A and B are shown apart, each in its own frame.
Chain A
Amino acid sequence: MKESNYIKLEFPSRSSNESFARAAAAAFAAQLDPTLEELGDIRTAVSEAVTNAIVHAYPDTIGRILMRLRILNGNVLEIMVKDFGKGIENVEEARKPLFTTGGSERSGMGFTIMESFMDKLRVRSVPGKGTTVVMQRAIRLRVGKR
């Protein structure tokens, strides 16, 4: 049985860390031998989740963001992005396309893109305590590689 692997990263909710988070996720995912498209999907979903935490969890302050990446059985990458910020009152509403409280610099498409680029998306939030987003994506095994 393949030994599972994981990383945990913690960083402050500064927008300059968005590119760091997706680059780190892509570097970790590389061991699953993803295609360029799969890698692009992972970078996109991580960028959306981390941006949500930066913009919505900590609107007026800098807080902690925790990202954990795990490899699960079946060549599945699991991405967890957790914050300890203000939380989401109504998760169902927040997940709807075009819903945003972020003003004209946001499109309200973040969760829609996470959903369409990942196989599974779970969002748990407690107002005043924080939000946890967990996403999974199976990376197809390719013949003739490795």
Chain B
Amino acid sequence: MKYAASFVSGRLTVYLAGELDHHAAGEAIRVIGELIEDNMPRECVLELSGLSFMDSSGIAVIINAVRRMKALGGRLTVEKPAPQPRKVLEASGIERLIAVAAGT
């Protein structure tokens, strides 16, 4: 997994690239958690266009980020999932909890 981030006027965008599975999930939870703690954003966007694969481990990563953002009184959105990650997001029902913006 590769990570990049930008922070502009209260909005933290975390770019995730690679394959997000159970093997990668622990690190992803830690990296995203630290970025949120360091920047204290009002909004956090997980930008998934570089994610070539995601399974239910990715759902756990997103839920962890949602909890951290809720604790700060902010919100989390997910952007630009490719077709395979999008299908996992849909099957999990997480779209009842967070906004998923299209793209790619």
Contact = CB atoms under 8 A, between A and B. Distances in A.
Nearest to A102: B60
B84 A43 contact: yes
Contacts, number: 79
A55 interface: yes
Contacts of B23: 15-16, 18-19
A48 B53 CA distance: 12
B92 A105 contact: no
Nearest to B60: A107
Given A15-B22, A19-B23, A43 B60 contact: no
Contact of A113 (B25, B26, B29, B88): B88
Contact of A54 (B22, B83, B91): B22
Contacts of A59: none
Interface string A78-109: 00000000000000000001000000111111
A55 B22 contact: yes
A37 B91 contact: no
A5 interface: no
Secondary structure of the B side of the interface?
Answer: helix
B40 interface: no
Contacts of A113: 55-56, 88, 91-92
Interface in B1-52: 19, 21-23, 25-26, 29
A97 B56 CA distance: 11
A116 B56 CA distance: 12
Contact of B29 (A43, A48, A55, A105): A105
A19 B21 contact: yes
A130 to B, nearest CB: 19
A110 B60 CA distance: 11
Interface string A53-68: 0110000000000000
Interface of B: 19, 21-23, 25-26, 29, 53, 55-57, 59-60, 63-64, 83-84, 87-88, 91-93
Given A47-B21, A106-B22, A113-B55, 6 more contacts: A40-B87, A97-B93, A104-B64, A105-B25, A107-B92, A113-B91
